[in-house]
Amino acid sequence: MNGVDGEFADAVIAGFRGTPKSVSSRFLYDTRGSDLFEQITELEDYYPTKAEISLLDRYSGEIAELAGAGVRLVEYGSGSSRKTDRLIEALPSIASYVPIDISDSALSQAAARLIARFPDLAVYPLHGDFNQRIDLSAVPDGKTTLGFFPGSTIGNLTRAAARDFLENARPLLGRKSAFLVGVDLKKDLNVLLRAYNDREGVTAAFNMNLLVRINRELDGAFDLEKFVHEAVWNEDEGRIEMHIRSLQVQSVQVLNQRFDFAEGETIHTENSYKYSLEEFQALSRAAGWEPLRSWTDENGLFSLHYLGPAS
């Protein structure tokens, strides 16, 4: 298959054979998906970006004091790296910046922008899946390594996977490391649902773009008029779920295979787990980190956690 991303093909075929049908949210971020995500961050209904930026504006100085001089900054799921400017500016004599992202387009645009804005900054972009083994051997050591995982992307992982992720990050970041994690908080259901089902339909376009990507890259035959975006709250799991719902009984070909959809059947495309401050602190401790500081914005929407190695 020329030009077909084998991993994407395998994930879609396996996900469509499962019950319920699902595809990992990391496949939402092709070039158009990354552009749409950036548009989402500008929406009035999407509070997480604004709340996290307000936290970074307020506490970057304190974070820089905790981290010290000569930091190697490693960011997971860096996307546009827009928020990171605040940290880069605040961290004294930062040694290097390592953005890691699955989206090649977002990563290369961000690296070019940062190199233009901070000509003295050593930037080492890493293209790949942050759940796979990450090799930092080409990046010179800083005095300490500060991991940065903003955007509540950690909420896209199940609680067990989030714990494993934090645990695996410890040896990678090293003994003299700290980890700054942005985590969305539990809150009023209407506020949550509006953020994932915005009035301008940008989140819907972001979610439905998965079908566009399957049609383009996997020879798919989805008729987008016959599916709709859906965001629902799952109380038992404490998470927002994004789905793509079939409006009728239908069959769709993908890579010469037929997949049947019942009326109302969905493809589960993303989870966004929400935490209380205490829940995330407990999860961090279970993964071998010590929550040294936790901050929330003035509206109690979003949290930033500064984790140090457990003694």
In the complex, the residues that contact ligand SAM under the rule CB under 6 A are 26, 29, 34, 37, 41, 49, 77-79, 83, 100-103, 106, 129-131, 150-151, 153
Minimum distance of ligand SAM from residue 138's CB (angstroms)? 18
* Distance set, CA 42 to CA 45, 50, 110, 132 (Å): 9, 8, 17, 30
In this complex, which beta carbon is closest to ligand SAM, that of residue 44 or of residue 260?
Answer: 44
Per-residue tokens: 217: 């890259």
Residue carrying structure tokens 């494993």: 164
In this complex, which beta carbon is closest to ligand SAM, that of residue 52 or of residue 96?
Answer: 52
CA distance 275 to 296: 12
In this complex, which beta carbon is closest to ligand SAM, that of residue 41 or of residue 284?
Answer: 41
Minimum distance of ligand SAM from residue 229's CB (angstroms)? 16
Q: Where are the beta strands (DSSP E) in the chain?
A: 21-22, 71-76, 96-101, 126-127, 144-149, 177-184, 227-234, 239-246, 250-254, 257-261, 266-273, 289-296, 302-309
Say if CB 146 and CB 73 are below 8 A apart.
yes
Per-residue tokens: 38: 């950036």
Minimum distance of ligand SAM from residue 8's CB (angstroms)? 12
In this complex, which beta carbon is closest to ligand SAM, that of residue 202 or of residue 252?
Answer: 202
Minimum distance of ligand SAM from residue 130's CB (angstroms)? 4
Minimum distance of ligand SAM from residue 311's CB (angstroms)? 30
In this complex, which beta carbon is closest to ligand SAM, that of residue 105 or of residue 294?
Answer: 105
N- to C-terminal Cα separation, the chain: 51
